[in-house]
Amino acid sequence: MSRRHHLFLLSLLLAPLSGLAQEEGSAPTKPAEEAPRASDRPKQEEGPRLDLEGLEDPAGTGTTPAPNAEVSGQAENETFVERLQPTTTLAQRAAAILDRTTLGGYAEHDFIVPEQGTSTFRNHRYVLFVYSHISERISTATEIEFEFAGSPLKRDGILGAGEVLLEFSVVDLMLTDWATLRAGVILAPVGAYNLRHDAPAQELPERPIAYTTIVPTTWFESGAGFLGGFDLGQDWRLSYEVYVVNGLDAKILDGQGFRAARGSHLKDNNNDKAVTGRVSVSPFLGLEAGLSGYTGAYDLEGRRVNMVNADVFWRLGALDLTGEVVRAFIDPGYVQGFPGNSEANTRDRVPTGMFGFYGQANYRFRIEPFFRLLPDEWKEGHFTASLRYEEKDTDMEFVTAGDVARLTLGLNFRPLPPYVLKTSFHWEKSGGDGVRPHVWSGEFWDEGHWEFIASVAYLF
């Protein structure tokens, strides 16, 4: 997660407060005549463009000078030369980093009450961001995630390996205002959610079910490519990302979707390189629509996965509407192609089609008597009520337990932009009984089950 992702995340969190202030009848933070012109906006953007103040480069373009931009390029190069000297100690090299490297991150902690089973606390994730501005045109960014507190992880009374993941680690070279070369561990730009999955920016504790399976958020691949954007006149803006990556392997499963098939960062399983990309257009601040896709061979025989995704975000005052739909087309095959002694060669049938979607509405509001009782620094906070309906089908030929429909109601309290207390209640049904689940069917309500989640997420 780069500094630009970090700043974009802050922009999502701060924007509702700006909107609320104006809805409450207060004076706008910027006079109308000072509204940003198209020529004043960042040249590249990765998210819905929100009218913010006090943030450099809120869309995360990587074009904003570093805080130490006054240091000349010559002085910066001299610092690197000193760090690379054979006689320089490790402590001296580390000390030289302090003026150019930024550390931040976010975390999420849950309390879960299922209809069946035991309630539990879950230390869901702790994520570190590292960003360094190497020069005026070169930067590097990394996201390191400790899932369920890392290792060791206790499962069923036995200590085993946990998850410590390098989910994002890139070096960017800005070639022009509209093209940046990126290489490393890249977030696959299939849909908007995978690019903007950070817990403090989300209003509900759980990620959409289709976007943890069909689009296996967090979906990260090793590769290289380009990103950038263009002003199209007036307020219109077009942004793009396109990469060549190792791509998915053959471990494609009903229920899990492509989650176990995410590519290796050590070596590709075939000579084919997958191509993935996203193009988005924003006609004005607060509205963005995107189209993205993926194509690549998943085994040595050249059998392919093709995927297309559409997403939209629309801010209407205190109401945000967002949604995505994904469809995957898969050549028939089997889970195979790994080394002969690998347990991964299960020969299970690979599903030939997957489909999923979600639609979500978030409404921000305030209860003034409540906020008057709070400390001064919290009095600009707000509540958010959320409603999301979603479905996933990870094998379109059959009705199985991989078919799931879910309806979620949520309410959160955000006293400050980087800190949020969330609650949600969802009702869901799977197709394990052979009946395709939909919220409008009687079986959904008669045979489904519920779960309650409370969580805290914060950005630092």
Q: What is the pTM of this model?
A: 0.82
Question: How far, CA to CA in Å, does 198 sit from each of 46, 188, 266, 343?
Answer: 14, 15, 26, 33
Helices (H), 70-216: 73-84, 90-95
Radius of gyration, CA atoms only, the chain: 23
Rounded to whole angstroms, how far apart are CA atoms 325 and 348?
27
CB atoms within 10 A of CB 35: 12
Domain total for the chain? Answer: 1
**Domain presence at residue 107:** yes
**Domain presence at residue 84:** no
Farthest-apart Cα atoms in the chain, separation: 74
At residue 76, the pLDDT reads 64
**Domain presence at residue 71:** no
**Domain presence at residue 402:** yes
**What single-letter amino acid sits at 333?**
G
Question: How far, CA to CA in Å, does 281 sit from each of 81, 117, 232, 236, 310?
Answer: 42, 45, 9, 7, 12
Q: What is the pLDDT along the chain (460 residues), one digit of tens a residue?
A: 444 444 444 444 444 434 433 333 333 333 333 333 333 444 333 334 333 223 333 333 333 344 444 445 666 667 677 767 776 777 777 777 766 789 999 999 999 999 999 999 999 999 999 999 889 999 999 999 999 999 898 988 999 888 999 999 999 999 999 999 999 999 999 999 999 999 999 999 999 999 999 999 999 999 999 999 999 888 899 999 999 999 999 999 999 999 999 999 999 999 999 999 999 999 999 999 999 999 999 999 999 999 999 999 999 999 999 999 999 999 999 999 888 888 889 999 999 999 999 999 999 999 999 999 999 999 899 999 999 999 999 999 999 999 999 999 999 999 999 999 999 999 999 999 999 999 999 899 999 999 999 999 999 9
- The closest of 307, 122, 110 to 219, measured between CA atoms, is 307
Task: Give the side-chain half-sphere CA count within 13 A for 313.
Answer: 18
Distance of CA 412 to the CA centre of its chain: 20
**Domain presence at residue 77:** no
CATH label of the domain that carries residue 205: 2.40.160.10
At residue 315, the pLDDT reads 97
Chain length of the chain: 460
**Are 450 and 426 a contacting pair, CB within 8 Å?**
yes
Rounded to whole angstroms, how far apart are CA atoms 428 and 443?
10
**Domain presence at residue 73:** no
Q: Which residue has the tokens 């000078």?
A: 65
Cβ-count burial of 98 within 10 angstroms (0-12 exposed, 13-18 middle, 19+ buried)?
exposed
**Domain presence at residue 145:** yes
Domain that holds residue 377: 3-65+100-459
**Are 428 and 395 a contacting pair, CB within 8 Å?**
no
Contact partners, residue 133, CB within 8 Å, separation at least 6: 3, 66, 68, 100, 139
**Domain presence at residue 79:** no
Rounded to whole angstroms, how far apart are CA atoms 442 and 67?
58
Reduced DSSP (H G I as helix, E B as strand, rest coil) percent helix, strand, coil of the chain, to 5: 15, 45, 40
Rounded to whole angstroms, how far apart are CA atoms 163 and 146?
6
At residue 42, the pLDDT reads 40
At residue 352, the pLDDT reads 98
